[in-house]
A and B are shown apart, each in its own frame.
Chain A
């Protein structure tokens, strides 16, 4: 068990390291001189250029830049923005940090609960009309990108019916559509996998054993099948986070919400690499942490890993 966890933590660290190196490279080896971009029409002001170069550490040898970058990261310092010269990245993304986790976590909770529920219903009623209907909706949910669904929902609920605001952030009404849209893909994905894994466990020999013992159908599904289906579901729950991050970025852009995703996209357009890469690092850290937690949960659920001889 400790060996298993050590391996997981090692791969988490490796992932963060790769992310740090990749973002450093992206920051430093981009086409064009960021200082010239920042200078704008003052491009002839060599003093200012030299000062900016020093502020951003661009005058240092590459390895020192890297050391400075890494030590900065360890202190939580993501560097300075290009677009807003002299402004720390942390300040640029501060608003986003308050918004994106709300959307992401709400969508996460929604997709886990609703996805499991719908998948379980479909599996228990496999082959019935309910199942067929649910799975049809799921295929649509999986196939149609979030922004397409959002376009349709905005048009229907906001434009036509005027029930919900078209865009923005701040009121609960404004939060409803973004969260639903961000969750739709993951809900469909999770429902489909729950159904698949539950059907698989329902066909296992030990489920037949439970029936032979006189365990009522509810107990068979909940205590034996669903519990065992949790093991493979956990492994994909981590991967599903990727979909949630995509969903969050997409809805922020649709609904013009100044979250991390929206800032990341505008920063790319503005060639503000430190901000983009800071956000990339945050998402990576979040994703890695969730996956690490999933791996730990995996250990708690499955005694075959927990009790493996190391």
Chain B
């Protein structure tokens, strides 16, 4: 469990909406280990995309530290930060929006290399390499993104991310905009690339099945907080937090009856989160203590963290 590539140390990010403070990410502690994939799952508005931007220092934290191999990113000077950017890259959700429609594919993929000051010849060589890597034809370089299908555009986005040889790749809903058959192609590509290149990945998605498929460890977020963190098998087969159980039960899947009975209400307004445990108004297990005290994220079973006063308890 050593060699952390990325560490989040009590990281928060606030926004001000209509004069009120909104904690998009609320004191999150997280460690991402080398060569592994950490999945982050949660519903819309839970803060998972903000977490991705914090990890890459695209937005600075309001408090707390983001450490890259033990070094606080916020303390790096502009040059060091730019050099670090080469080593941490992101794949976005919407392949249409994340590629500048007026740039040719070659220039798009070479952009991070240009920012690092690579020579023209080295850029061309590297672009050709990564095109092979993601399974795109070499003649793609001279075409515009509009000439490609959604799945191919996502390959271009992956090629751009891989071009500067990063060791950390963050995928923010990277397959959510794709059709089922294309989604499987891209998921396979990502897992293959990880194995070949020894990448460390953070895979963010609202889709539980996709997160389970690619991740070794999984964190569940609810209203800016991590409520459960465990290995993929532990989390999905032995969930400790009632919210995680609710989420898993709500996923419709062929050959599995839908268990909607256990789900109550909708995620509350993030501007006015409930007191204590944010989940208590929807929780079948909620007691008085849940309304008053926010449960810490502690070990509920071996290597299995949950933020619940009654982890593992069942509703019946």
Contacts and interface: CB of A to CB of B under 8 A. Distances in A.
A–B contact with Cβ pairs below 8 Å: the answer is yes
Contacts of B19: 310
Nearest to B18: A309
A236 to B, nearest CB: 27
A206 B266 CA distance: 24
Nearest to A308: B18
Nearest to A309: B18
A242 B18 CA distance: 33
Contacts of A310: 18-19
Nearest to B271: A309
B135 to A, nearest CB: 37
How many B residues are at the interface, by size bracket? under 10
A265 B19 CA distance: 48
Contacts of A309: 18
A310 B19 CA distance: 8
A123 B18 CA distance: 37
B54 to A, nearest CB: 27
Interface in B1-48: 18-19
A309 B19 CA distance: 10
Interface in B71-89: none
Nearest to B19: A310
Interface residues of A, number: 3
Contacts of A308: 18
A308 B19 CA distance: 12
A309 B17 CA distance: 10
A305 to B, nearest CB: 13
A308 B18 CA distance: 9
A309 B18 CA distance: 7
Interface in A263-310: 308-310
A61 B19 CA distance: 45
B192 to A, nearest CB: 40
B17 to A, nearest CB: 9
Contacts of B18: 308-310
A49 to B, nearest CB: 59
B256 to A, nearest CB: 32
A310 B18 CA distance: 7
Nearest to A3: B19
A308 to B, nearest CB: 8
Nearest to B17: A309
A280 to B, nearest CB: 38
A59 to B, nearest CB: 51
A200 to B, nearest CB: 22
A63 to B, nearest CB: 39
Interface in B234-266: none
Interface string B45-74: 000000000000000000000000000000
A201 to B, nearest CB: 25
A55 to B, nearest CB: 53
B159 to A, nearest CB: 36
A295 to B, nearest CB: 20
A259 B220 CA distance: 72
A157 to B, nearest CB: 53
B313 to A, nearest CB: 37
B39 to A, nearest CB: 34
B270 to A, nearest CB: 14
A238 to B, nearest CB: 26
A43 to B, nearest CB: 63
B20 to A, nearest CB: 9
A44 to B, nearest CB: 67
A29 B19 CA distance: 44
A175 to B, nearest CB: 50
A79 B19 CA distance: 45
B219 to A, nearest CB: 32
Interface string B131-169: 000000000000000000000000000000000000000
A26 B18 CA distance: 41
B98 to A, nearest CB: 26
A28 to B, nearest CB: 43
A310 B20 CA distance: 10
B4 to A, nearest CB: 42
A308 B17 CA distance: 12
Interface in B257-301: none
A308 B20 CA distance: 13
A6 to B, nearest CB: 14
Interface string A144-172: 00000000000000000000000000000
A16 B24 CA distance: 42
A261 B104 CA distance: 56
Interface of B: 18-19
4 contacts: A308-B18, A309-B18, A310-B18, A310-B19
Interface of A: 308-310
- Name the 4 nearest CB pairs between A and B, nearest first: A309-B18, A310-B18, A308-B18, A310-B19
